[in-house]
Amino acid sequence: MKYKYLAPVVGALMATAALVGCANNASGASGAASQPAANAANVTIMVGGLSKQIYLPFMLAKQLGYYDKIGVNVNLIDEPAGGDATQNMLAGQVQGVGGFYDHNIALQAQDKFSESVVSMLQIPGEVELCRSDLKGVINSPADFKGRSLGMTDTGSSTDFLTQYLTTKNGVDPTQTTRRGVGAGQTFIAAMKQKAIDCGMTTEPTVSQALSDGTAFILLDMRTAEGSKAALGGTYPATSLYMQTDWVNSNKDTVQRLVNAYVSTLKWIQEHTAQQIADKMPADYYQGVGKDAYAAALNSEKGIFNPTGIMPADGPPTCLAVLSAFNDKVKGKSIDVTKTYTDDFVKAAQPIS
């Protein structure tokens, strides 16, 4: 199935990922569906980078067999950028998005209503990397003026956060060049080819870029302390969000999905990083290696929300961040209580 809103491959850099993309498709990382269940609901969820560790719960739930157990036919679609996934949701081509919660705030500012039904990450898990040859030259986002900055894609949450960090540090985002370079091999290729000076990405891309000396860490939002220092508070990230009308019309299906994800979050807390890595498809740690993948996961396991409940101070922080630079949000009256619901999480039944 083709999605008319899917962004085209950006530039020659994306060509370097062709073989990796084929590997993903072959192993089920894109378009991965659980076994059909008779008379079960069909739900397609588009995830803004399935192989990123920040989105791990979506595939892990499948690997644990939870989609089958809840009786929902879940089709996972891999889309590198959260902004494009959101557009597909609005077009009705997918029912849910695995992406950052902040998109719900941006949508409400445009009089479009969606909501997070389960919060999976307490903090972004993002890292701002800069090329190793610029160490000592770029010391903070205050040095971003005139620089080329990489993110997943324009309109993505990495774009949101990049613009915020730039603005917060006294640089107008228009004085930078923001480039969508994806993640994994395309991100690393962009750095090695000096197409970007710095860029925001996640594990396992971070570990791969550090292991061969391609980059150094400028800002680290894989810890609560690092996230609060960079963003001013708790910044809930990965969630499953859906259009509010769809949620209201399909409460039983939503509850089943939330049951699966709350159980997955609990499973993550009760198992080691190595045990989690053992459950993931092999192409998820291709390029970095399984041991390095597990080590990276072990160092950032704290990013995962153990309960699925939205952190109380999270939505106000996200609103403050978006209001700092986004003209569509700035000055708007946003009711953050309508951008998420904890009702399904509170009613969740564990899966054995």
244-253: average pLDDT? 98
Structure tokens at 74: 């879940």
Cis peptide before 204 (omega within 30 of 0): yes
Mark out the alpha helices in the chain (DSSP H runs). Answer: 18-27, 56-63, 66-70, 82-90, 102-108, 157-168, 185-192, 205-211, 224-231, 244-249, 251-270, 273-279, 290-299, 314-325, 343-346
Could you give the strand order of the β-sheet that contains 41-47, starting from the edge strand earlier in sequence? Answer: 32-33, 72-78, 41-47, 96-100, 238-243, 114-119
Which stretch of 20-24, 273-277, 334-338 has the lowest confidence by average pLDDT?
A: 20-24
Q: State CA 157 to chain mean position distance.
A: 8
pLDDT tens-digit readout, 176-213: 999 999 988 999 999 999 999 999 999 999 999 999 99
Residues sharing a CB contact under 8 Å with residue 221, sequence separation 6 or more, in sequence order? 123, 124, 125, 126, 127, 128, 227, 230, 231, 235
Band the pLDDT of 285: cuts 50, 70, 90. confident
Within a 10 A sphere around the Cβ of 275, how many other Cβ atoms? Answer: 12
pLDDT grade, residue 352 (50/70/90)? confident
Residue 22 in tokens: 């084929």
Mean pLDDT of all residues in 212-224? 94
> What tens digit of pLDDT does each residue of 81-132 get?
656 889 999 999 999 999 999 999 999 999 999 999 999 999 999 999 999 9
Identity of residue 288: V
C-alpha–C-alpha distance, residues 275 and 81, integer Å: 28
pLDDT at 323 over 60: yes
Rounded CA gap, 317 and 108, in Å? 16
* Residue type at 146 in one-letter notation: G
Residue 16 has pLDDT above 70, yes or no: no
Residue ranges and CATH numbers for the domains of the chain are: 12-123+235-346 (3.40.190.10), 126-231 (3.40.190.10)
Mean pLDDT score of the chain, rounded to an integer? 88
Q: How far apart are CA 9 and CA 59, in angstroms?
A: 24
Cβ atoms 205, 152 nearer than 8 A: no
Cα(311)–Cα(48) distance, integer angstroms: 22
Find out whether 263 and 66 touch, Cβ atoms under 8 Å.
yes
In this structure, the chain runs to a length of: 352
pLDDT, residue 20, reads: 33
Q: Which one-letter amino acid corresponds to residue 207?
A: S
What do you get for the CA distance between the two ends of the chain, in Å?
34
C-alpha–C-alpha distance, residues 33 and 43, integer Å: 10
Q: Burial of 286 by CB count in 10 Å (0-12 exposed, 13-18 middle, 19+ buried)?
A: buried
Whole-angstrom CA distances from 191 to 162, 196, 213, 220 are 16, 5, 11, 18
Are the CB atoms for 60 and 281 separated by under 8 Å? no
pLDDT digit string, tens, across residues 18-43 = 323 333 333 344 445 445 556 789 99
